[in-house]
Structure 1
């Protein structure tokens, strides 16, 4: 392997990446693999951002994302460095995508194979519902295929191109149901309200309510239908692998590093001030945090014009996340389990009013299941319940009441956990707001509500030369695959610009990283 010497590294064009979440790590890897000298700055003492764990007697428990979808996005990321994803993490594809429970005792598994799912739905709700699901699967496949390249894969979606796609395929407009919300479309699609409730949960995957989100979000089903993978050892293994690989390609990773300000020179970025005293110089900076932090002046008043929409568009939902170890008795669990609310609309009415839902749907991840190995007596669990985002950092006063409520709710489904989890490992929106400044605790950036919400996100390129954006708060959106795609959009544009500059001026963008 060709090892870079310090003198050669200093000749590489310099870039700074701010933020060590999935987008920051993916950007650092792509830029370093593309020949740039990269320094990644992370304010916490670990990499991964929302990929995080909390300790337990059974080992580290995921307290963020729990599975991998759209695997091809990650295959492409590792391939950019000449590597294979499966050589760095052990992946286990799930036959059962999720197991769903209702308080009337009904239960439904969604499977990796669509026809197996249709058969399960036939047994669950009848042959009519099974045929409705087949129609839904074809409909969302059509939407995903049509909008993947011009929307998600495009660095900046263009309305004319999207409109052309619709004109070329007239049936697409009907599939989009542009005048309908996700709830309305699903109510028309399914005669059984439980299936509308189930597939309506995909709005929450991007922090929204199904009765306010556009019908096109139904295509999220195809992201799961394409495959769900569990990573052996937990999701943190992915962040660890990306960190190690980026370092191997020459990137410098600095944790416990607070960025005070992004500095400009003649209107273009010149570097960053960190930890109150140090100045790092670079002509290329990727901000891989929530762009709202730039708009509010958190990193300098000169940047307040960046992504102004983040000040006016409502924030997405947040969550209360409980991660712990316990022994479980009751119904047989899959890796992913959903325990549905009895009054689904009341949950979203509460969230939109800024209240913790009185009748929440609970997502329960049994992290030691789905590995093809015996389930240990002491298992690791993560419970996620939707919650409104909040500006305040003050700890909530109702946590004890809420904790008792969700434990009782699981008991109503015959799920018992022993010993009873304590409240010490609950992460609240207030915690998220503290960990990720200027997010207001929102987990998915801007709200997905409204037909044009997906077109209103900031994109990778900003109006300040040398400043780029990546992360779940930018296009194409929230979630591990989308944030990873945002890194590709930023890195490809940077490397393309760097190549063009180098061809026209061999001395431009040289000099590496320096301190002052």
Structure 2
């Protein structure tokens, strides 16, 4: 069994399959595990450069339990009391809390009793949507057509399906709950969690608000520490990992995946291959012509958002940061209009993860703290070069938005900037799209790449495949990949019980492993 990529999806699949007794080799081009969940140096410190929000902890508890381990024995976590701090100006601020009653009171204080009632109604609707889709779609295998989904949930729940509101946009439906434009904008931001615009994605994605309301967890060392823990439990089950090793191409024979060829020319035989990379890399032929037909090519217009990401180590003043913070643009429609036109927003919404706030460490004695600052941008990193002048314009636009909300960074701050060009290099075939296929239109969820591909024995996992973007969703994709591989192996043994040359071998989880 070969797994290309040691992102959260690949690491999850590796640990689960090794725990079932399969020989598993994970091949990763980067020197460390985690994929997008990485840290990068800024001066003499490391700053998280990937996902920062950790939800649906039970997904990881399940993975560790299946390997005979406990998550708490590997990473230190605690629930966040404040989900996020939001600001529109120096005087307009709102905290959302793990306690919904505190959130409701805060919303009432900001926008009045009608807004508090709208919050209750929106929260109830988001919960209904999530409960309908959680086990029937999110944690289950991909469904290709809506009738299949109806069959899965049962005809008796037909009218519940329409209540998920797939044919209305998130922006429209949120307007039914909130007359206050600030609250509509706040909850519309959840569309960006899967790299989409709230003006074009279905209202079904309101379920993300419910996911976050169920609990946000803080991790000592960030998501990168979680990736290291997944590698550790995989190793304990017998999986092997080859870092700093790129895969040149996937090998097929007789319409079936038979292994991989490394950039060094070495060939590794494997009768099952999981690709933990954006499926766009497959469709673009970046993993070889043999594998190109495994998935359909993704047109640039179907890409999700990219981002301008500043990794900083600096002093701050004014605004009192929480771990997660959002500073909103005054014109959300213009912001997404700029992105649709292929340019970074002129006056953007800014997200900051203040990694040393509410965490397990503290700012250094010199008062500097680590910040990851994100502004949404178009995924055109393979078609447009961002010049030094444009980078500086984006930096100044970001700083102005923070200043208007009362936050000041040092003038000469230590930082590095990742643009869509950098994301395009890091995520081949994507143009810098961080979240895979964009979730626009009612059919978007059915069009996202599933676990199986058109080539037998070749599977996909990761945040760009079903069930979607985000840390827990990537882990769920790894679970689905592991489950599908085991089901296919069981089917093979049922109909071909005799030993086959080159077939998948089983062994004790503690023995030496090969591909």
Report if TM-score (shorter chain) is over 0.5. yes
Q: More deviation in 380-389 or 321-330? A: 321-330
Matched, 1:411 2:398: no
Pairwise CA RMSD: 2.0
Residue of structure 2 equivalent to 1:160: 147
**Are 1:113 and 2:99 counterparts?**
yes
The 1:278–1:147 alpha-carbon spacing in structure 2 relative to 1, beyond 3 Å, is same
**Within 1, Cα distance between the matches of 2:368 and 2:329?**
27
The two structures have a TM-score, normalised by structure 2, of 0.93
Match of residue 318 from structure 2:
330
Residue 38 of structure 2 corresponds to residue 52 of structure 1: yes
Counterpart CA distance in 1 for 2:307 and 2:290 is 33
Q: Aligned-pair distance for 1:254?
A: 0.6
- Which of 39, 43, 59 aligns to 1:73? It is 59
Deviations 1:207-263 (A, max 9, x none): 111101111111100110111011112221111111122112111111121111111
1:472 aligns with 2:463: yes
Deviation per CA, 1:83-139, whole angstroms, max 9, x where unpaired? 111111000210110000012621111111111111111111111110110011111
Tell me, yes or no, if structure 1 residue 446 matches structure 2 residue 437.
yes
Q: Distance in 1 between matches of 2:160 and 2:181?
A: 25
- The alpha-carbon distance between structure 1 residues 170 and 108, as it changes in their structure 2 partners (threshold 3 A), is farther
Structure 1 match to 2:509 = none
**Counterpart of 1:69 in 2: which secondary structure?**
coil
Match of 2:129 among 143, 154, 171: 143
> What count of residue pairs does the alignment treat as equivalent?
500
Residues 324 and 506 (structure 1), Cα distance of their counterparts in 2 relative to 1, 3 Å cut: farther
Distance 1:392 1:420, change over 3 A: same
Partner SS for 1:458: coil
Contact preservation (8 Å) 1:273, 1:279: yes
Whether the aligned pair in 2 keeps the contact of 1:180 and 1:214 (CA below 8 Å) is: yes
Matched residue, 2:7: 21
- C-alpha deviations, 1:346-391, integer Å up to 9, x for none? 1000011111100100001111112266554221111000000012
Instruction: Tell me which residue corresponds to 2:74.
Output: 88
SS at match of 2:45: coil
What's 1:436 paired with? 427
What SS does the aligned partner of 2:222 have? coil
Deviation at residue 166 of structure 1 after TM alignment: 8.2
**1:385-424 correspondence to structure 2 within 5 Å:** 385-390=375-380, 391-392=382-383, 394-397=385-388, 398-418=390-410, 420-422=412-414
2:305 match: 317
**What residue in structure 2 maps to residue 281 of structure 1?**
269
Shift of 1:393: 7.2
Question: Any idea what SS the aligned residue of 2:142 has?
Answer: coil
**TM-score scaled to structure 1, two decimals?**
0.92
Check the 8 A contact 2:348/2:397 in 1, yes or no: no
Superposed displacement of residue 394, structure 1: 3.7
Gaps in structure 2 of 5+ consecutive residues: 507-512
Mapped to 1, the partners of 2:252 and 2:149 lie a distance apart of: 36
Report the counterpart of residue 48 of structure 2 in structure 1. 62
In structure 2, relative to structure 1, the CA distance for the partners of 1:482 and 1:67 (3 Å cut) is same
The yes-or-no answer on 1:213 pairing with 2:204 is no
Q: Is 2:26–2:241's contact at 8 Å kept on the other side of the alignment? A: yes
CA drift of 1:22 comes to 0.8
Choose from 343, 362, 369 the match for 1:355: 343
Q: C-alpha distance in 1, partners of 2:167/2:29? A: 43
The runs of 5 or more residues in structure 1 that have no matched partner are 1-14
Query: Could you say if the C-alpha distance between residues 484 and 510 of structure 1 is closer, same or farther in structure 2, counting changes exceeding 3 Å?
Result: closer
How far apart, CA to CA, are the structure 2 residues paired with 1:367 and 1:514? Answer: 38
> How far apart, CA to CA, are the structure 2 residues paired with 1:287 and 1:469?
5
Q: Distance in 2 between matches of 1:394 and 1:257?
A: 28
Deviations 1:378-414 (A, max 9, x none): 2111100000001237443411221122123212222
Cα distance in 2 for residues equivalent to 1:274 and 1:58: 33
Q: CA deviation at 1:468?
A: 0.8
Shift of 1:205: 0.6
Q: Is the Cα–Cα contact under 8 Å of residues 92 and 370 in structure 1 kept in the other structure?
A: no
Mean Cα deviation higher: 148-157 or 443-452: 148-157
Change (3 A) 1:197 1:255: same
Is the partner of 1:380 in helix, strand or coil?
strand
CA distance in 2 between counterparts of 1:459 and 1:171 reads 26
Residues 84-93 or 389-398, more deviating: 389-398
In structure 1, distance between residues paired with 2:498 and 2:77: 43
Indicate conservation of the 8 Å contact 1:313/1:446, yes or no.
Answer: no
Secondary structure of 1:308 counterpart: coil
Cα shift at 1:67: 2.5
Secondary structure at 2:459 match in 1: strand
Q: Indicate the SS of the match to 1:103.
A: coil
1:101-250 → structure 2 map (5 Å cutoff): 101-103=87-89, 105-157=91-143, 159-163=146-150, 165=153, 168-169=156-157, 172=160, 175-250=163-238
